[in-house]
Structure 1
Amino acid sequence: MIPIDLTTWPREQHFSLFKEFTQPYFNVCVQLDVGALYQSCKVQQCSFFHAYIYAALQASNTYQPMLLRIIDNQPWQLATQRASVVELADDNTFRFSYLLQQSSFADFQEHASAVSLAAKQQPLFSEAFSCTEGQADLLHISVLPWLDFMSFSHAFNQTDNFGIPKLVFGKFNAKTGKMPLSIDVHHALMDGLHVAKFVEQLQLCIDELCV
């Protein structure tokens, strides 16, 4: 992780403007084309859920603006980030699975399965939660597989100043092959153009998994 030099950063004035906003995040919802990925996972008998989470983490670690954070009121560039993924436990309450990027989807699926199993056997305020939540190098990912939503809003804490991106995946539509994705980003760090380029990178990562 390295600090951004504000004297040479083109976003210096944009950063100064938006970091003082009471609610500095903006949201967009898009439709991802995941039909081929779903069919590929079905044929290979692997987890569709793990596949698109893998693609999201891969794309987020590839596209530089998604690695920007605000620490001590200054912009920083991460080298990599982890995914904090919301998953449903057997009692219909959620847990957080903290997932690291892996060199291959096979390795990621093995890693994610083990982390998920352990997380679901612990309370929400687990040791993993206390050691991980509140750190800047997380990417927040939620999943709402029951809803084909067109908009989304998050609960947020006024003291959260890291500028962590937040992704929410919705219900897969088997007829259209599409799935909604809500993206929240901090406006001091990213604009709509950056979100559009991230979506392109994510779709590319999804498509490459089908090859």
Structure 2
Amino acid sequence: MQPIDFDSWPRKQHFELFKNFTQPYFNVCVQLNAQTLFDYCKAQNISFFQAYVYCTLKACFAYEPIMLRIIESKPWLLTSIRASVVELDEDECFVFSYFDYLGSFKEFSANSDKVSKQSKSNSLFSDAFANTEGQADLIHISVLPWLNFSAFSHAFSEGQSLGIPKFVFGQYDKQAGTMPLSVDVHHSLMDGLHVARFVKVLQAECDHFKCK
């Protein structure tokens, strides 16, 4: 991580305005065009789920505002990123799998297969949870493949926030070629304009994804 020069940062006043809000996150729900990505994954016999998680990590790494975090009440810029992904175990209870952003999808997929298998064999409060959850270099990803939603809200607790973005992917509509995406970001770090630009970056990653 590297610190932001706070005194010269254009968002200094916006940061101060929102950082102490009880609920400083705002939510935007969009329809992501996922047909190109879905069709490619089906043709290549690779995981659609892993592909859009990878695209999300890659898009985050490419778009600076979503790499911002709040550390000791000041803005910092991440230089690496990981995903805390909600998955279901055999009992249909969720666990967290921690996926590293790696240079190629093949590396990412192989590592994610191992991580998923291990996570699903452990309890929610695993060693990985204790060692990883709550760290600043994460993004949070949930998946609701059973619902084509148009709005979403998260459970939250009061207290200091690191400004970690939260993404929720919904059910892929094969007829329309779209899937809902919920994006929650900290208002001290981003505005609606930044979310719109990020979604554009993510859409481009999905449209041009290649397994290599």
| TM-score for the superposition, normalised by structure 1 | 0.98
- The aligned residue for residue 153 of structure 1 is 153
Distance in 1 of aligned mates of 2:110 and 2:182: 26
Indicate the SS of the match to 2:6. Answer: coil
One-letter identity of the residue aligned with 1:23: Q
- The aligned residue for residue 8 of structure 1 is 8
Q: 5+ residue gaps in structure 1?
A: none
Distance in 1 of aligned mates of 2:69 and 2:20: 15
Indicate the SS of the match to 2:175. Answer: coil
Distance in 2 of aligned mates of 1:150 and 1:210: 29
Deviation of the 1:31 alpha carbon: 0.5
Deviation of the 1:98 alpha carbon: 0.4
Moved over 2 A (4+): none
Distance in 2 of aligned mates of 1:80 and 1:210: 22
Alignment RMSD: 1.0
- The aligned residue for residue 178 of structure 2 is 178
- The aligned residue for residue 108 of structure 1 is 108
1:56-104, Cα deviation, whole Å (9 max, x unpaired): 0110111001110011111111112110000011100001110111111
Indicate the SS of the match to 1:181. Answer: strand
Distance in 1 of aligned mates of 2:167 and 2:158: 19
Indicate the SS of the match to 1:124. Answer: coil
Contact residue 73 and residue 161 of structure 1 kept, 8 A: no
| TM-score for the superposition, normalised by structure 2 | 0.97
Distance in 1 of aligned mates of 2:73 and 2:18: 12
One-letter identity of the residue aligned with 2:40: S
Mapped pair 1:169 → 2:172: no
- The aligned residue for residue 78 of structure 2 is 78
Distance in 2 of aligned mates of 1:189 and 1:6: 12
- The aligned residue for residue 43 of structure 2 is 43
- The aligned residue for residue 200 of structure 1 is 200
Contact residue 170 and residue 179 of structure 1 kept, 8 A: yes
- The aligned residue for residue 92 of structure 1 is 92
Q: 5+ residue gaps in structure 2?
A: none
Q: Mean alpha-carbon deviation: is it higher for 104-113 or for 192-201?
A: 104-113
Deviation of the 1:210 alpha carbon: 5.2
Deviation of the 1:160 alpha carbon: 4.2
One-letter identity of the residue aligned with 2:38: Y
Contact residue 96 and residue 119 of structure 1 kept, 8 A: yes
Deviation of the 1:159 alpha carbon: 2.1
Distance in 1 of aligned mates of 2:144 and 2:160: 23
- The aligned residue for residue 24 of structure 2 is 24
Distance in 1 of aligned mates of 2:81 and 2:13: 26
- The aligned residue for residue 67 of structure 1 is 67
- The aligned residue for residue 119 of structure 1 is 119
Identity of matched residues, %: 56
One-letter identity of the residue aligned with 2:126: S
1:122-177, Cα deviation, whole Å (9 max, x unpaired): 00000000000111111000000000000000011212410100000000000000
Contact residue 172 and residue 179 of structure 1 kept, 8 A: yes
